[in-house]
């Protein structure tokens, strides 16, 4: 959507919002869109993790990798086009490559954090309760939050920076 049309549309919405809400959104648009896009990507990730691990009984670490990669394409599209408002296809291969590199690094970090939270901390904190819980989902939620903070700055500074 072109910026002029987007501004007209948002102007109409602002008339319906309580005073100051639209101005706040305009000032913090990138961050708010990042959180929403990330939340949607996190939902895709967690849903896939849950279904693979809990329904199909696939090992949680393998499920975590598949879930992480499943959310990749969805997240790239939302971050590029909506969060950082980059509608150009110029250099998209480079952007996707850098985004994939960041995602793969995040995948390694995510997998290490999952192992740490589930097999180390989880077994220490709740050894008798461990196998009967959805501890891996809480671990994924915490891991994703930590990775999201780091990723925002990397995406903004290196992947979708404006020339």
Q: Write out the chain's pLDDT in tens, 163 residues.
A: 456 666 666 666 666 667 666 666 677 888 889 989 988 988 998 899 999 999 999 999 999 989 988 888 888 989 998 898 888 888 899 998 999 999 889 989 999 999 898 888 877 877 665 554 567 888 888 998 899 899 999 998 989 887 6
Q: Is 10 a member of any domain?
A: no
Residue 40, CA distances (Å) to 33, 49, 92, 132, 143 in order: 10, 14, 22, 27, 16
pTM of the shown model: 0.66
**What's CA 68's distance to the chain center, in Å?**
9
Q: Is 4 a member of any domain?
A: no
For residues 79 and 160, the answer to whether their CB atoms sit within 8 Å is yes
Which residues are CB-neighbours of 159 under 8 A, at least 6 positions away? 79, 95, 98, 99, 102
For residues 81 and 34, the answer to whether their CB atoms sit within 8 Å is no
pLDDT of 52? 97
Q: What is the rounded CA–CA span in Å between residue 58 and residue 140? A: 15
Q: Is 72 a member of any domain?
A: yes
Total count of domains within the chain: 1
Residue 123's domain comprises: 29-159
Q: In terms of Cα–Cα distance, which of 2, 144, 14 is closest to 85?
A: 2
Q: Is 96 a member of any domain?
A: yes
Q: What is the dihedral of CA 62, 76, 96, 70, to 10 degrees?
A: 20
Q: What is the rounded CA–CA span in Å between residue 126 and residue 122? A: 6
């Amino acid at each position: 959507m072109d910026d002029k049309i987007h501004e007209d549309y948002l102007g109409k919405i602002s008339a319906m919002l309580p005073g100051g809400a639209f101005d706040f959104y305009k000032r913090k648009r990138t961050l708010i869109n990042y959180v929403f896009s990330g939340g949607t990507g996190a939902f895709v990730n967690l849903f896939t993790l849950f279904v693979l691990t809990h329904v199909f009984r696939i090992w949680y670490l393998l499920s975590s990798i598949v879930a992480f990669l499943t959310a990749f394409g969805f997240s790239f599209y939302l971050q590029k086009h909506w969060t950082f408002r980059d509608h150009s296809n110029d250099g998209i291969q480079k952007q996707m490559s850098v985004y994939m590199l960041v995602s793969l690094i995040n995948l390694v970090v995510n997998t290490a954090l999952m192992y740490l939270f589930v097999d180390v901390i989880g077994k220490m904190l709740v050894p008798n309760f461990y196998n009967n819980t959805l501890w891996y989902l809480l671990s994924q939620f915490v891991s994703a939050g930590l990775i999201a903070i780091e990723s925002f700055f990397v995406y903004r500074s290196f992947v979708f920076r404006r020339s």
